[in-house]
Amino acid sequence: MRSDSQRLAGKIAAVTGGASGIGRAICEAFGAQGAAVHLLDIDGEAAGAAAETMRRDASARGGPTVAVTVHRCDVSEPDDVELAFRRILEAGPVDILVNNAGIAHVGTVETTTPEELDRLYRVNVRSVHLCTRAVVGAMKERSSGVILNMASVAASAGVAERFAYSMTKGAILAMTYSVARDYAGHGVRCVSISPARIHTPFVDGYLSAHYPGREAEMFERLSATQPIGRMGTPQEVAELALYLCSDEAGFATGMDYPLDGGFLRLHG
């Protein structure tokens, strides 16, 4: 087994939606463990700032330099994905792909418009197809690679007013199982993580927009939906992602891993 600081040494990882929240935490964890990270995000400015923070923090720790490359990319657009991954693959083969980019939505089947449904599909589902398609052939040729998809407890449980979002995360699970089955014999692993509520900037923004003046109250109410009594942190998701994408998890494929504070099995 490698020393703890070298778990991903020599690996090249591409992480979508890497500028904030869970994606940023994954980029930071992978970079700290020796991976060369390609950070993809639609917000190029935020992505650049995240990369600079990663480098500065590594320098402050006195550790090795963090290798992180930023790619401004709308992962729902085929041309953007093709260009980004052409550049990435020119630099070296992708060992790890983390399909993390996604958007949320609140609404029932009645209140969700066709346009909203299409947008959720493009960002949350089509992006996984495009990015996976861009790397899996080369992984197959090398008989090596890991694809990690970010699903959600909403894929497996009925969450109120999350019709379109739940649809997309259910698709993530189905794609995870399908890719794992098709490529298990070619040395390529595919797994997913299903978080419950994670305290990210999105949560704070959502509460400010929908519950002005009641943010603290609603934060506690949302936290209490997890039997453990709190939301998870992006770093906790990143630690699981680090394990699943490391060589130590070489026997793991075709599985979804809930990280939910007991939400699926202990709720109610």
158-192, pLDDT tens digit by residue? 899 899 999 999 999 999 999 999 999 999 999 99
What's the pLDDT score for residue 268? 57
**Residues pairing with 38 in the sheet:** 14, 69
**The two three-digit tokens of residue 195, written as one number:** 């978080």
| Mean pLDDT along residues 118-138 | 98
Indicate the SS3 state at residue 119: helix
As a whole number of angstroms, the distance between CA 37 and CA 92 comes to 11
- Is the model's pLDDT at 62 over the cut of 90? no
Question: Is residue 115 domain-resident?
Answer: yes
58 and 116 belong to one structural domain = yes
pLDDT band at 4 (very low <50, low <70, confident <90, very high): low
What's the pLDDT score for residue 2? 45
Alpha-carbon torsion, ordered 71, 77, 82, 87, to 10 deg: -10
Q: Tell me if 223 sits within 8 A of 197, measured CB to CB.
A: yes
175 and 54 belong to one structural domain = yes
| Mean pLDDT along residues 147-151 | 98
What's the pLDDT score for residue 254? 98
As a whole number of angstroms, the distance between CA 81 and CA 62 comes to 35
Q: Tell me the per-residue pLDDT of 200-226, one tens digit each, with 9 for 90 and over.
A: 988 998 889 889 999 999 999 999 999
Determine which of 22-31, 56-65, 133-142, 251-260 has the lowest per-residue pLDDT on average.
Answer: 56-65
Average model confidence (pLDDT) for the chain? 94
| Mean pLDDT along residues 227-231 | 95
CATH of the domain at 109: 3.40.50.720
| Mean pLDDT along residues 136-149 | 98
Q: Tell me if 84 sits within 8 A of 47, measured CB to CB.
A: no
Please give the single-letter amino acid code of residue 106: V
77 and 172 belong to one structural domain = yes
Containing domain of residue 205, as a range? 198-231
- Is the model's pLDDT at 3 over the cut of 60? no
**The two three-digit tokens of residue 38, written as one number:** 């390609």
Determine which of 123-132, 153-162, 232-241 has the lowest per-residue pLDDT on average.
Answer: 153-162
| Mean pLDDT along residues 34-38 | 97
Percent of the chain at pLDDT exceeding 90: 86
| Mean pLDDT along residues 105-133 | 97
What's the pLDDT score for residue 59? 83
Please give the single-letter amino acid code of residue 29: A
94 and 189 belong to one structural domain = yes
Question: Is residue 44 domain-resident?
Answer: yes
219 and 169 belong to one structural domain = no
What's the pLDDT score for residue 5? 63
Indicate the SS3 state at residue 260: coil
Percent of the chain at pLDDT exceeding 70: 97
36-41 vs 188-195, strand pairing mode: unpaired
As a whole number of angstroms, the distance between CA 148 and CA 131 comes to 11
Question: Is residue 267 domain-resident?
Answer: no
The residues annotated as belonging to the active site are 165
What's the pLDDT score for residue 1? 39
227 and 242 belong to one structural domain = no
The answer for residues whose C-beta is within 8 angstroms of residue 157's C-beta and 6 or more apart is: 263, 264, 267
Find, among 232, 209, 205, 115, the residue nearest to 164 by Cα.
115
- Is the model's pLDDT at 52 over the cut of 70? yes
What's the pLDDT score for residue 126? 98
174 and 208 belong to one structural domain = no
Question: Is residue 16 domain-resident?
Answer: yes
**DSSP per position, 40-104:** EES-HHHHHHHHHHHHHHHHHHT-PPP-EEEEE--TTSHHHHHHHHHHHHHH---SEEEE-----
| Mean pLDDT along residues 150-159 | 94
110 and 133 belong to one structural domain = yes
216 and 157 belong to one structural domain = no
As a whole number of angstroms, the distance between CA 37 and CA 23 comes to 11
206 and 190 belong to one structural domain = no
204 and 74 belong to one structural domain = no
The answer for residues whose C-beta is within 8 angstroms of residue 108's C-beta and 6 or more apart is: 161, 163
Question: Is residue 128 domain-resident?
Answer: yes
Distance of CA 7 to CAs 2, 3, 165, 236, 247, Å?
Answer: 6, 7, 33, 17, 8
106 and 212 belong to one structural domain = no
Question: Is residue 178 domain-resident?
Answer: yes
What's the pLDDT score for residue 201? 86
What's the pLDDT score for residue 127? 98
Please give the single-letter amino acid code of residue 220: E
**Whole-angstrom Cα Rg for the chain:** 18
Query: What total number of domains does the chain contain?
Result: 2
